[in-house]
Each structure stands twice: as structure tokens, then as C-alpha cells.
């Protein structure tokens, strides 16, 4: 048996060595040309290299499956006792070649720099190329080479976030867990679809075809269908997986707001508990949607912020503790998923000690907030007396934060200190004292 396996691996290597060589040499060559900035090349070389590789992988997988479908593969010579083993072995061995190509793409993309968290790029490249190969191979095996090629190319385009991250754009959207889980699910369910179609020969071809299509369809359509359904029913919440909000408390610790009974990391349902330590008073309220406390208005009111995922608005609410009532009083235009992005910064919101005004940073709909270190936040004034909001300064730097209060002025800190008047809505730069050396 071992000599047969050796011969099989050698035959499969002879079929895939050229594609493997292309996948291992083209990414470092593209990175090298990009660094040299050759004047003759007016296009983006890493992007072109990745595009060529993804098209090549889809066509190559389709041709392999076409040969296996026609019982023309080398594996069929070594395993004549089962007609499905030929296609299965080809899928496993040549799929391994596709995974190695993906690792190469991710590794060399990480070497280009320009993005944060580049340690995850080899895994991203592996999943991206592997899912493209899997979709193209299984659909060619089930239907035809034209269907497999088209599906592989379409699958690569559907994961455009992964493509842009592995190319040369300075964004990191493709590192989101949803994209990674989606490509991993496609690879796993495509493998089980291949097993179902090739090894269950006791059933008719039509039955095996339907079962394989159902398995592959679950992997390909589950997450898009889920997102579409949530957008129709308006139940999708902002994702706080990367940044779970912390407890809110006053400077002296007398008033606190804690999260209890968290249902999941996506925060689709949560109980909020207010504790007044001076009066030994506790109030708990259940929220069916994700919620973010931003400050206290006196001793009996908590100001909250809420945003549905993909919704370009943030809603401000008053939680009256004496009556346990929730009342919305203002809305702010913001970037989708703004609260999760905004609350990665320091002190993004603050309420004045007298409870009359508040200020809050919100990720702007026009800023580059998709970068791991977002830039572009709108500064808003919250008038709690008249229950209104005013835009004070658009597109502030991401490192701006609220330093404190002085009468009716909020003191902000970024590269300099600023005083923001709540009465005139004007920002004034504060002088910074520079220590001077004493003369002897």
C-alpha cells in the first residue's frame, strides 16, 4: 500500500508543481517590484498578482475536477476499487497545494507592512485561496467546468474584503471574524459535500447531487442570508466583540452602572444594573437591544446611547431611575457600528457635574474609521436641558479625548488643550505653560 501511495503523491505532484511554483514565486516578486516602485509599472503590482493567482486557482481547480469527473485522473489508476476515491484524493492533495499558496500570499502581504495585526494574514490567505479552490472544485464535480470556474471567481469576488486586505489597500476590514468564519465554513462544508457525493454510491446520482448542494449551500449562503434577514427584521445589533464596554461610575465611586446577564459577545440582550452606594439603592432594567451608558445626569438619571448595526444613527436615551422609564430624546448621524468603534478611544463621552450639558465623540460617517486606529470623529454637544444636540467640530483626530470640565466649558485634549464653551459652542486653544530653566 505504501508504494502505491508514494506513486500517487508523485503523480499528483507532477500535476500541481507548476501551480505551486507560481503561487510561491509570484507573491514575493510582486512585493519586491512594489517596493522598488518601478516607473514603468503604473498599476498596483500586488493587486494584479493576487488577481492573477485567484483566477488561476479557480481555473486550475475546475480543470482538476473535470479530469476526475471523467475518470481521467492519475488517482483513478491507483484506486480502481472505488470510483470515488480518485476524485477525493485529488481534492485533498491538490487542495493542500492551494492552502500552501494561500499561506504564501498572506505571508508576503504581511511583509509589505502598512497594516496592523499582520500576524493573522497567513491564515487569511489560506482561507481565502482554500475556499476559492473548494467552491470551484466541488461545483465542477457536480455540474460542469464552466459552472465551477464561474463559481470560483464569483466566490473570490464575494470575499472582496479579504481581497482588499491581501492586496495593497490600507484597510483591515477583512480581518473581521465574520469574513474569516465564512471562508472557513465554506471549506469545511465543501469537504463534506465531496464526501457525500463520492462515497454514498448506494444512493442515486440525483439524491447525492441534492445532498451535496444542500451542504455546500449552507456554507455559502448561511451568513449572507442571515445578514439579509436581520436587515429586514431590524434585529441586527452593533458588534462589541472587540471592545466590550466597561462599567460606568462617578469619580467618587458613589454611582455605578454594571452589565449583568450578558447573553453573548454580540450583546443582543443585556441587563443594566444601577447602584447608588450612598442611599443603598439598586435598579435593574432589561434591554432587548445592545446599550452603552455614557454618563450620569444628577443622581436619578443615566444617559444611554444605542445603535443598530448598519444603522447610520446613534440614539440618545434618558433612563429615569425613580420611574424606571426609558425615553429617547436625540439622534446623531454616525458611521455604522459607530459605538463599538468610538468606545475604543479614551473618555469618548462626559456629562458636566451639574448635569446641564455633555460632550461626546462619535465615529463620523465621513471618517476613515475602518482602519484599526480610526481617524475622524465628530464632537457633539448634548444639551440635556433642551434635549438637543449640536455638532461642535467634525472629523477630530482619533486620539482626542475629554479631559474634564471648568464651569460651562469642556476641556479637551489632543495635540493641544482646548476649551469648548457650552454657551457659545466655540473652541478655544488653551495656552500651555512651558517650563523654563532657572538662570544661575
Residue 301 half-sphere exposure toward CB, CA atoms < 13 A: 16
3-class DSSP state for residue 53?
helix
Q: Across the chain, what does the average pLDDT equal?
A: 76
What pLDDT is recorded for position 4?
Answer: 65
pLDDT of residue 112 exceeding 80, the answer is: no
The single-letter DSSP state of residue 266 is T
pLDDT at 342 exceeding the cut of 70: no
- Residues comprising the chain, all counted: 440
**Can you give the pTM of this predicted structure?**
0.55
pLDDT band at 71 (very low <50, low <70, confident <90, very high): low
Contacts of 385 (CB under 8 A, 6+ apart): 356, 357
* Record: fold of 248-429: Methylamine Dehydrogenase; Chain H (2.130.10)
Q: What is the pLDDT of residues 134-193, one digit of tens each?
A: 999 988 888 888 888 998 888 888 887 788 778 765 444 445 566 777 888 888 888 888
Query: How far apart, in Å, do the first and last CA atoms of the chain sit?
Result: 92
- Note the pLDDT of residue 236: 45
Displacement of CA 115 from its chain's centroid (Å)? 14
pLDDT at position 376, please?
Answer: 72
Q: What is the pLDDT of residue 136?
A: 92
Determine whether 406 is exposed, middle or buried from the number of CB atoms within 10 Å of its CB (0-12, 13-18, 19+): exposed
Task: Check if the beta carbon of residue 166 is closer than 8 Å to that of residue 50.
Answer: yes
Full strand arrangement of the beta sheet holding 255-260: 248-249, 255-260, 270-276, 281-287
Mean per-residue pLDDT, 360-381? 69
Strand-pairing partners, residue 318, are 303, 327
pLDDT band at 41 (very low <50, low <70, confident <90, very high): very low
pLDDT over 50 at 350, yes or no: yes
What local confidence, expressed as pLDDT, does residue 285 receive?
A: 86
Can you tell me the mean pLDDT for 19-23?
87
Residue 239's pLDDT is what? 44
Other C-beta atoms lying within 10 Å of the C-beta of residue 56: 15
436 three-class SS:
coil
- How many other CB atoms sit within 10 Å of the CB of residue 333? 16
Q: pLDDT band at residue 74, thresholds of 50, 70 and 90? A: low
Query: Which 3 state secondary structure label does DSSP give 326?
Result: strand
Judge whether residue 437 has pLDDT over 80: no
Report how far apart, in Å, the C-alpha atoms of 29 and of each of 23, 46, 83, 129, 179 are: 11, 9, 41, 18, 27
- Closest by CA to 391, choosing from 359, 433, 429, is 359
As a whole number of angstroms, the distance between CA 379 and CA 191 comes to 50
Domain boundaries defined on the chain: 2-233, 248-429
Q: Which helix (H) or strand (E) holds 6?
A: helix 2-36
In the prediction, which pLDDT does 418 show? 82
Torsion of CA 173, 174, 179, 183, to 10 degrees: 170
**C-alpha closest to that of 276 among 255, 296, 306, 295:** 255
Sheet holding 292-297, edge to edge: 292-297, 301-306, 313-320, 325-333
Q: Band of the pLDDT at 433, cuts 50, 70, 90? A: low
Cβ burial, residue 149 (10 Å; 0-12/13-18/19+):
buried
pLDDT at 265 over 70: no
Amino acid at each position: 500500500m505504501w508504494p502505491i501511495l508514494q506513486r500517487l503523491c508523485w503523480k499528483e505532484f507532477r500535476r500541481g508543481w507548476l501551480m505551486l511554483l507560481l503561487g510561491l514565486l509570484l507573491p514575493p516578486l510582486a512585493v519586491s517590484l512594489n517596493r522598488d516602485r518601478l516607473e514603468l509599472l503604473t498599476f498596483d503590482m500586488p493587486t494584479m498578482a493576487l488577481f492573477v493567482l485567484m483566477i488561476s486557482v479557480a481555473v486550475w481547480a475546475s480543470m482538476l475536477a473535470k479530469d476526475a469527473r471523467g475518470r481521467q485522473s492519475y488517482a483513478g489508476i491507483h484506486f480502481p476499487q472505488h470510483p470515488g476515491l480518485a476524485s477525493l484524493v485529488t481534492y485533498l492533495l491538490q487542495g493542500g497545494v492551494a492552502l500552501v499558496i494561500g499561506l504564501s500570499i498572506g505571508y508576503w502581504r504581511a511583509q509589505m507592512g502598512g497594516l496592523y495585526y499582520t500576524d493573522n494574514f497567513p491564515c487569511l490567505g489560506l482561507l481565502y485561496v482554500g475556499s476559492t479552490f473548494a467552491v470551484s472544485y466541488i461545483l465542477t464535480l457536480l455540474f460542469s467546468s464552466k459552472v465551477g470556474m464561474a463559481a470560483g471567481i464569483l466566490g473570490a469576488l464575494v470575499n472582496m474584503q479579504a481581497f482588499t486586505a491581501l492586496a495593497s489597500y490600507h484597510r483591515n476590514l477583512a480581518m473581521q471574524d465574520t469574513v474569516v468564519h465564512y471562508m472557513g465554513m465554506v471549506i469545511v462544508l465543501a469537504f463534506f459535500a465531496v464526501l457525500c457525493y463520492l462515497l454514498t454510491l448506494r444512493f442515486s446520482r440525483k439524491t447525492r447531487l441534492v445532498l451535496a448542494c444542500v451542504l455546500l449551500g449552507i456554507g455559502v449562503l448561511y451568513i449572507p442570508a442571515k445578514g439579509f434577514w436581520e436587515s429586514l427584521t431590524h434585529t441586527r445589533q452593533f458588534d462589541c466583540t472587540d471592545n466590550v464596554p466597561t462599567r460606568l461610575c462617578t469619580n467618587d465611586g458613589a454611582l455605578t452602572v454594571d452589565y449583568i446577564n450578558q447573553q453573548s459577545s454580540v450583546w443582543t440582550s443585556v441587563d443594566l444594573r444601577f447602584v447608588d452606594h450612598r442611599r443603598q439603592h439598586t435598579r435593574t432594567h432589561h434591554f432587548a437591544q445592545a446599550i452603552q451608558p455614557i454618563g450620569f445626569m444628577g443622581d436619578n438619571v443615566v444617559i444611554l446611547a444605542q445603535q443598530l448595526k448598519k444603522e447610520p444613527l446613534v440614539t440618545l436615551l434618558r433612563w429615569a431611575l425613580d420611574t424606571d422609564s426609558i425615553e429617547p430624546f436625540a439622534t446623531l448621524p454616525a458611521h455604522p457600528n459607530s459605538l463599538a468603534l468610538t468606545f475604543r478611544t479614551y473618555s469618548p463621552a462626559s456629562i458636566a457635574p451639574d448635569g446641564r450639558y455633555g460632550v461626546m465623540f462619535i465615529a463620523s460617517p465621513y471618517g476613515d474609521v475602518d482602519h484599526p486606529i480610526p481617524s475622524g470623529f465628530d464632537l457633539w454637544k448634548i444639551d440635556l436641558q433642551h434635549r438637543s444636540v449640536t455638532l461642535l467640530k467634525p472629523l477630530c483626530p482619533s486620539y482626542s479625548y475629554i479631559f474634564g470640565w471648568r464651569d460651562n466649558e469642556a476641556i479637551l485634549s489632543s495635540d493641544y488643550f482646548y476649551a469648548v464653551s457650552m454657551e457659545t459652542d466655540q473652541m478655544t486653544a488653551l495656552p500651555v505653560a512651558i517650563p523654563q530653566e532657572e538662570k544661575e
